[in-house]
Structures are given as C-alpha cells and as structure tokens.
Amino acid sequence: MDSINTLGKNARRAETVLSGASAEAKNAALTALAKALCEKSDFILSENAVDIENGRRAGLSESLLDRLALNPERINGIAQGVRELADAPDPIGRISEGSVRPNGLKISKITVPLGVIAVIYEARPNVTADAASLCLKAGSAAILRGGKEAINSNRAIADVMREAIAAAGLPADCIQLVEDTSRESATALMRLNEYIDLLIPRGGAGLIRSVVENSTVPVIETGVGNCHIYVDASADLDMAADIIFNAKTSRPSVCNACEKVLLHRDIAPAAFEKIKARLDEKNVKILGDEAICAMSADVSPASQEDWEREFLDYIIAIKVVNDIDAAIAHIGEYGTKHSEAIITSDYDSSEKFLARVDAAAVYVNASTRFTDGGEFGYGAEIGISTQKLHARGPLGLSQLTSFKYIIRGNGQIR
Amino acid sequence: MDSINTLGKNARRAETVLSGASAEAKNAALTALAKALCEKSDFILSENAVDIENGRRAGLSESLLDRLALNPERINGIAQGVRELADAPDPIGRISEGSVRPNGLKISKITVPLGVIAVIYEARPNVTADAASLCLKAGSAAILRGGKEAINSNRAIADVMREAIAAAGLPADCIQLVEDTSRESATALMRLNEYIDLLIPRGGAGLIRSVVENSTVPVIETGVGNCHIYVDASADLDMAADIIFNAKTSRPSVCNACEKVLLHRDIAPAAFEKIKARLDEKNVKILGDEAICAMSADVSPASQEDWEREFLDYIIAIKVVNDIDAAIAHIGEYGTKHSEAIITSDYDSSEKFLARVDAAAVYVNASTRFTDGGEFGYGAEIGISTQKLHARGPLGLSQLTSFKYIIRGNGQIR
C-alpha cells in the first residue's frame, strides 16, 4: 500500500532527527504537547462526540462506548501523564556496560532509540496520546493505527500533538496516524520491515494472534492475561480470599486481573467458602470443575474453553488440584505467561512456585494486579509483554530502547 | 508436519527439566559431551567422510567442502570450546535489578532460560556442537536444522552429544537434530510457535531473508554484514590502509569483514594509493565509483548491486564522498547495521560518527573484525545479531536468556 509506505518513509526521516535530539528538546516537545491537549480539549471532545454518536448508532456496547469516551478529566489525566513523562529520566545514551579490552579497545554498550515503533490498538483514544508520547521520549517515531470506531478522536488528538511538537522544533512526523482503518492497512504495516523496527499490538487475543501470524516486522506480544492464583495447603485463607477478591474485582477488564483459582484439595472446601463469600459481594459468577460444582448450587461447570480464555468480566473459574505440582502443571498448560500467584505460608512451596512457573511476573502472597509499570516503579508503559524476547512484563521507557556498542581504538587490527 | 511437531513437544518436555537443572549438572553434561566428541571422533570423521564424498560428487566448491570438512584438530577445537563453556559463569538466576516498593512488595528481576531455541544453519557441522552446547549452558533445549550436505556429520555429532548428556543425567532431547532437511521441515519449524521461543537463522542473506519472511516464531537475524570503513579527511592514512587491509583480508568470508571503503574527497587520491598498495599484496579485486575508476586502470566500476551486497571474498568496493555527512548517509542507506568504522584524528568527526551511525558496533580507528563474542570478552557466541530487538551484536550466553520478575509479598492488594 502506497500510503502506508509513505508513512514509513516519513517516520524514518523523522526518526533520524529525533534520535539526535537532546533530552531537553524532547521534554520541551512533550510539555508543549500536554499543554496543547488541554488547550484544544474542546476540539478533541467535539470530534470524540462524533465517534460516540456513530458508535451508538452502530450498536456498540456500553463498555466499549465507555472506553471510547473522553471528557475534560480524562484529557487532563492524559496530559498529566505526558507531563510526568517529560519529567522522567531520559532512557537514551545510558552506558550499561563498558570495559577496556587487553588490546586497548574501549568498548561501551549504550542505549539508543529503537527507531520506528508501530502500535496497532483498538478503540481507545487515550492510547493515541499515551503511545505517541512514550515513543517520543524513547527517541522513536510512532506510527499509530487505532480502531475505526475512534478515528475522529484519534485524528483530532494526532493533529493537536503533531502541531505542538512541530512548533517545539521536532518533526511533526515523529507522530503519524494511519487514517485508513481497513484490514489492509494493518496488514501492510505488519510487512513494512524496511521502515518499522518494532510492532506492538495492544488489544484482545484476536488482534494479537493476527499480528503474530502475519507480521514479518519484529513484534512484542502484549496483554493477554489468563492469570491464576493458586491457594496452597498452608495458605492463610483470609489472605487468599482478600487477594482473590482484589485480583478479580478491582478492575475485571484488565490483563492482570485474576481469571482462575486453583485450590489445594486439603483446604478446598474451607477456602472455597471464604472466597465465594467475598466474590458474592460483587456478584461474581463462579464456574468450577466437578469438585467445586459439588460444593455449591451457585456454581456452573467450566468448559475446556473456559480454562483457556480470559473472561475480562465478573466471572471466575475455580478448580481443585491434588498438590502444588498439579497447580504448576495446570498453569504451564493454560497460562499466558503474564502474572501468576501462589498464596502460601510454606517456604518450600513459595520457592518452588517462583522457580518453576514461567511468567513475566510470579507472585507470592500478593495480587496479580500489581503487574504494571507504575506499580513496579517504572512509570508509564505501553502494555505488558507476554513474550520472552527483548522485554517481559511492563513495557516502559527503558524497554522501548535498543543499544549499540561504541568502540574507540587507536589503530587496532585483529 | 508431524515429525517437527514431535521434536517441538520433546524439546518442551526436556526444557522443563533443563531449566531446573543446577549449573553443576549442566557443566557436568558439557564436560561429558566434550569428552565424548573426542573419544568418538573416529565415528564422527567417518560419517563426515561420507558427506565430503557426496559433496565432491555433487560438485560443491572447494570453499564449501572446506567448511564441511572435519579433522581431528577441528574436533579437538570444538571440544575445547565446549570445555570453556563448562567453565564459564552460569547465565541463569542472576538478579539484574531489585527493589522494595513502598507497599513492601519485594521485586527481583532474574535471568531465566528462553526455553526452546531453534537454529537453522548451512553446511557447517561445527555449528551443530557449538549451538547445542551454548543453548544447553543457557538452560534452553536446542532444535538444530543444518544443511543437507552435512547431514551425516550432524547426525553423528548429535547422537554422540545426546548419548553423553543422557549419561550425565540430563534429557537427551535437550539436543535434537531435524533429520529431514527439506524446505518443508524448515518452514514447519518457522511456524512452531507453541514449542519454539526463539529461532536463529545462521547463514547467508538468502536464508535469513526466507526466515524473516516466513517465521511466526520470534527471530533474531544474524550475520549479514555489509560493513563500511570511512576514511575521514583528517585520517592517518597509514593506519587507514593497515586497518582496511586487516578488515578485508584477515578472513574475507566472515560477516565482520570490511566490504566497502568510503574516502573523503580531500584525501581520496593519497588514501587510495596507500590502500591499493596493501590490498594488492593479497590480490584483492577493487571495484570503484567513477572517481576511483579514474585513479587506476586496475579498478572496475561497481554496480548498484555491488554497493548493496556482501562480497565475502577478496573483493572490495571503494567510493569517494564529499564529507562525513555523505559517508553517514551512504552507510544509512546500504549498511546492514552490523559493524561500521571511521578512521579519523578529528574529535568532532569521531563523536558524530559514533552518535549517528546505527549499527550493532561502531568503531573509531579500529578494524571491524573485532565484532565477535570472544573479542568483546563475552566468550562463545551463536552469531552476530543485526536487529535491534533483544540482542544486538555478539549473541553470547547472556543474550540467549530471558528474565522474569519474582515478587514476594505478605498479603498486598491493589
């Protein structure tokens, strides 16, 4: 597609300028961008109203409309996030290793921008500003392709941001929006190896699968979290119930929410009673294996597919396991390598779980909801990586960089 | 393909054992493996003789036959490399970051194995042992698919290694060879996302392009090096000639060899004379742009394709540029992000080149031939990454790992 190719070329050209920009210049652009988002919020809100109106007419669900909707507080929140980024330490030019080799060569390993980062996401206009400003701070040009339902909002936000950073002296093309929201434009992005260094899909399992299947550009998978909490035989059952209640109900639509609970058979009935009492407070629908179904008439049987999927809703599935090994094996089979937790008071169980569960974040006696850039102390993030290459867990500023070796010599030959 | 799927399943099963193995257990297996390669060298050499005989009959070039050939010294060299690996520090379980969050959560970032690593390579049987032992030390199971010309050698080496590590108490399936060397088996490997965490193509540009085009498994590209040396106006021309001679002729077939020289116009005739005098010692064929062709009747015109390709031979292309910016722009257009060098005595030129050239390794006044795990002090490597994600430059032990966050709490909720 010509238009996508042009975006790629523009991004590459902008990136060569941006990668040489000082931290001061980038921070000034971010500050200007935050200011512009607030000053032009009426324009952004009026464009957003068009998307909301179209969405209502198209029959979008209330929860989708809620994600799509902007208001003055949300815009202020976005701008505040951008201002915090401006204040954050610059991730570029850090020397992470260095040595003088026996032959006198001085080698430094130094962080550099990735170059051009493309983000494909769904109908959440806040991502347009969040992703663009993170990429800018990380010294990379951003190509953004949001969902078609948010196109008017995204175009407005992108225009405001482009104008602001151009006025601040950086190329407007550091931020570009793909206005063509067809499937073809997404596919073209996925094959644009010449101009894109990293593609991040941010959204549901279907989007991510499609990107992994079709992309020749390097991808970081994000966001699918079929997270488990295993309650060990030795667990403090009140703590278990509190953590499961928090991990399921504090924000059910996010990827670090708990979707599955595994109960050691020795404490299963007592644990189930306490957990169910808490979950009932929020009318969480409980699915279960045979043993759990036998404990309460309120429980429906979980299907094979239920064990595999994210509910992202007030639904949870609970299963009884024979021991910690069975719990670890179940997580190995159904987990998505996002966040997994054990509730235990036994030292050996805690160490075994931490060592043997393969996920970005493995917890003892804490809620899976902490897998988050802010909670880890890394600041803003563009998503949670569930793959093992390059970045795992919160994809913050320092994960959005690459590095190079610079080597100073005085005539060395080999 | 069923057979490839089975290999994947076996590798995953072996990896779950290997990832829990102690450094001691891995090192004992490596030591046993090295010993077995030496003790069974007669068997390996007799199988290698079959490949050589088949290769001669198929009309392989002498340089390909040389890469394919093993002899007792080469086998000893391979075994010595494996023993050094056994002595190297273990890359797994290192805590690279850690903090206590304000809420008391203790977060550690710890290195873990990648899982299953597949390597697709050409007819070099030494890679079979080198790659398998690096993966083993890094705690990952290896699936190896070498070129069909080396199949008998590879099968012999793999059998010897599998038997040795099984006797040492690790699963034989930590090392598996794809015996089917059809194009279909390579394609099946590239789509085996369920069982393969990382695919490394090691070989020529054609192989790497095919893997990048077709793989849905995460890939690290290696080994294409269209490396440039730019001779600045202020360069010490004798140093330039020595470095270019070394970088071109010390081993022309490798990816860190110099393929292109760019001369600042102010010193072009004097520099060319000195450089040509050195290159003539080894009868290096010189291609040039118009300006260089005008300097000597020995120079043939370089085509557009010549500027783009790796010669991997006693051939070099030389071009005159107006200034350092033109040199950097040429490298940006034709370079493969491997290794690039400037020869200069000017401080500003050195800093500009280091900052603006985007490559794994950027040199001032040294040969590009130093881009190598051993030369960087990282030990053995599986190749040189030319991509910006995960690992850049020498792909040694510590680049063949992932990490996870382990979080210890005492009931924290969010």
Provide φ and ψ at A302, rounded to 5°: -85, 135
Q: Are A105 and A409 in contact (CB under 8 A)?
A: yes
Measured distance CA(B408)–CA(A362) in Å, rounded: 9
CA neighbours within 13 Å on the CB side: how many for A412?
21
Q: Look at residue A223 and tell me whether its pLDDT is greater than 80.
A: no
Element (H, E) at B39: helix B23-39
Between chains, do B413 and A107 touch, taking CB under 8 Å as contact?
Answer: no
Between chains, do B360 and A404 touch, taking CB under 8 Å as contact?
Answer: yes
Tell me which residue in A101, A247, A402 faces B392 most closely, judged by beta carbons: A402
For tokens 């151009």, the residue is: A166
How would you label B79-113 residue by residue, b for 16+ Cβ within 10 Å and e otherwise? Answer: bebbbebbebebbbeeeeeeeeeeeebebbbbbbb
Other CB atoms within a 10 A radius of the CB of residue B319 amount to: 23
Between chains, do B412 and A213 touch, taking CB under 8 Å as contact?
Answer: no
Provide φ and ψ at A216, rounded to 5°: -100, -15
Contact list, B363 vs chain A (CB under 8 Å): 407-409
**Domains of chain B, earliest start first:** 2-221+387-408 (3.40.605.10), 227-373 (3.40.309.10)
| Region of poorest pLDDT, from A42-46, A171-175, B24-28, B208-212 | B208-212
Measured distance CA(B237)–CA(B270) in Å, rounded: 8
> Whose CA is closest to A316, among A246, A237, A393?
A246
Q: Look at residue A1 and tell me whether its pLDDT is greater than 90.
A: no
Q: Confidence band (pLDDT; 50, 70, 90) for A359?
A: very high
Q: Please say whether the dihedral angle defined by the alpha carbons of residues B331, B332, B338 and B339, taken in this order, is positive or negative.
A: positive
Measured distance CA(B263)–CA(B273) in Å, rounded: 12
Beta strands of B114-233 (E only): which ranges?
A: 116-121, 141-145, 175-177, 198-202, 227-231
Contacts of B313 (CB under 8 A, 6+ apart): B252, B253
Element (H, E) at B84: helix B72-87
Q: Are A371 and A338 in contact (CB under 8 A)?
A: yes
Distance from CA of A256 to the nearest CA of B (A): 11
Collapsing DSSP to helix, strand or coil, A401 comes out as strand
Token digits of residue A37 = 């988002």
Distance from CA of A20 to the nearest CA of B (A): 7
pLDDT of residue B259: 98
Q: Are A83 and A56 in contact (CB under 8 A)?
A: no
Contact list, B412 vs chain A (CB under 8 Å): 365-367, 370
In chain A, count of helices (H) and strands (E)?
A: 15, 16
Between chains, do B409 and A376 touch, taking CB under 8 Å as contact?
Answer: no
Burial class (CB in 10 A: 0-12, 13-18, 19+), A186: buried
Distance from CA of B256 to the nearest CA of A (A): 11
DSSP string, A143-167: EEE--GGGHHHHHHHHHHHHHHHHH
Tell me which residue in B114, B239, B407 faces A411 most closely, judged by beta carbons: B239
Taking the Cβ of residue A163 and every Cβ of chain B, the question of whether any pair is shorter than 8 Å is answered with no
Tens of pLDDT along chain B (414 residues)?
Answer: 779 999 999 999 999 999 999 999 999 999 999 999 999 999 999 999 999 999 999 999 988 898 899 999 999 999 999 999 999 999 999 999 999 999 999 999 999 999 999 999 988 999 999 999 999 999 999 999 999 999 999 999 999 999 999 999 999 999 999 999 998 999 999 999 999 999 999 888 888 888 988 999 999 988 789 999 999 999 999 999 999 999 999 999 899 999 999 999 999 999 999 999 999 999 999 999 999 999 999 999 999 999 999 999 999 999 999 999 999 999 999 999 999 999 999 999 999 999 999 999 999 999 999 999 999 988 889 999 998 999 999 999 999 999 999 999 999 999
Taking the Cβ of residue A209 and every Cβ of chain B, the question of whether any pair is shorter than 8 Å is answered with no
Beta bridge partners of A339: A361
Other CB atoms within a 10 A radius of the CB of residue B282 amount to: 12
Taking the Cβ of residue B213 and every Cβ of chain A, the question of whether any pair is shorter than 8 Å is answered with yes
| Region of poorest pLDDT, from A61-65, A245-249, B102-106, B407-411 | A61-65
Between chains, do B358 and A112 touch, taking CB under 8 Å as contact?
Answer: yes
Q: Look at residue A208 and tell me whether its pLDDT is greater than 90.
A: no
Taking the Cβ of residue A42 and every Cβ of chain B, the question of whether any pair is shorter than 8 Å is answered with no
**Does the structure's ipTM exceed the value 0.90?**
yes
Measured distance CA(A379)–CA(A367) in Å, rounded: 19
Q: Look at residue A78 and tell me whether its pLDDT is greater than 90.
A: yes
Task: Give A222's DSSP letter.
Answer: B
Q: Are B213 and B191 in contact (CB under 8 A)?
A: no
> Whose CA is closest to A220, among B387, B218, B360?
B218
**Residue of A109, A401, A406, A408 to mutate for B, most B C-beta atoms under 10 A:** A406
pLDDT of residue B205: 82
Other CB atoms within a 10 A radius of the CB of residue B254 amount to: 15
Measure the CA dihedral A393/A396/A397/A399, to 10°: 10
Q: Are B118 and B200 in contact (CB under 8 A)?
A: yes
Measured distance CA(A157)–CA(A175) in Å, rounded: 10
Collapsing DSSP to helix, strand or coil, B256 comes out as coil
For tokens 């969040």, the residue is: A130
Q: Look at residue A252 and tell me whether its pLDDT is greater than 90.
A: yes
**Residue of A100, A389, A395, A400 to mutate for B, most B C-beta atoms under 10 A:** A389
